[in-house]
């Protein structure tokens, strides 16, 4: 067997690199297609005030759904920026629902909401059905952005990069 010459090695390497790039491109396109125009799940949120709020009632607004827990350090850390984001865009049509995870004791959620004066709707997901409907959310914080037509346009696992989130919200609110 002959040792590969530099020219042979170079062309084989280029061919392998091209194949890897094509595979990566297909994977990326498939990932983004997964979220393109995917409808948000049809759910009913039960807010701390006892209000039942459905996905259908939120149509026509851009909606952020934030799954969080009082025991989640990242959730607690990001909450002031979530409040700022909501206050910045609420008059432009943004709705925000903070969904407390099923394992979060309701009295902890109520205490957190009242002491932090959260200005948006806070919902309890006592049976985990809302988290399940959004793809079985387990990690907190997880935030979804839903467009005016009820389609998922972004999912953040962990704290979002807020300048990029604001750009996305501005685009969605202007549409």
Q: Is residue 17 predicted with pLDDT exceeding 70?
A: no
Closest CA to 77 of 162, 167, 9: 162
Q: Is residue 16 predicted with pLDDT exceeding 70?
A: no
pLDDT computed for residue 14 by the predictor = 53
pLDDT computed for residue 6 by the predictor = 54
Q: What is the rounded CA–CA span in Å between residue 161 and residue 146?
A: 17
Judge whether 41 and 134 are in contact, CB under 8 Å.
yes
Q: Is residue 148 predicted with pLDDT exceeding 50?
A: yes
pLDDT computed for residue 5 by the predictor = 54
- Residue 95: what are its φ and ψ, rounded to 5°? -115, 150
pLDDT computed for residue 102 by the predictor = 98
pLDDT computed for residue 37 by the predictor = 73
- pTM, 2 dp: 0.79
Of 7 and 133, the one with more pLDDT: 133
Query: Tens digit of pLDDT for each residue in 60-113?
Result: 999 999 999 999 999 999 999 999 999 999 999 999 999 999 999 999 999 999
For tokens 């005016």, the residue is 148
Q: Is residue 173 predicted with pLDDT exceeding 80?
A: yes
Q: What residues pair up with 104 in beta bridges, in sequence order?
A: none
For tokens 């799940």, the residue is 41
DSSP string, 135-148: T---SSSEEEEE-T
């Amino acid at each position: 067997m002959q040792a590969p010459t530099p020219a042979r090695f170079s062309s084989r390497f280029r061919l392998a690199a091209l194949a890897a790039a094509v595979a990566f491109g297909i994977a990326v396109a498939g990932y983004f297609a997964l979220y393109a125009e995917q409808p948000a799940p049809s759910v009913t949120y039960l807010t701390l005030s006892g209000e039942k709020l459905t996905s259908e009632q939120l149509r026509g607004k851009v909606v952020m759904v934030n799954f969080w827990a009082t025991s989640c350090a990242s959730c607690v850390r990001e909450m002031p920026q979530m409040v700022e984001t909501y206050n910045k865009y609420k008059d432009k049509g943004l709705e925000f629902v903070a969904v407390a995870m099923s394992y979060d004791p309701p009295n902890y959620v109520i205490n957190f909401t009242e002491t932090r004066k959260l200005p948006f709707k806070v919902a309890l997901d006592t049976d985990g059905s809302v988290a399940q409907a959004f793809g079985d959310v387990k990690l907190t914080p997880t935030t979804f952005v839903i467009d005016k037509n009820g389609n998922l346009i972004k999912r953040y696992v962990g704290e979002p990069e807020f300048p990029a989130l604001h750009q996305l919200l501005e685009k969605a609110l202007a549409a």
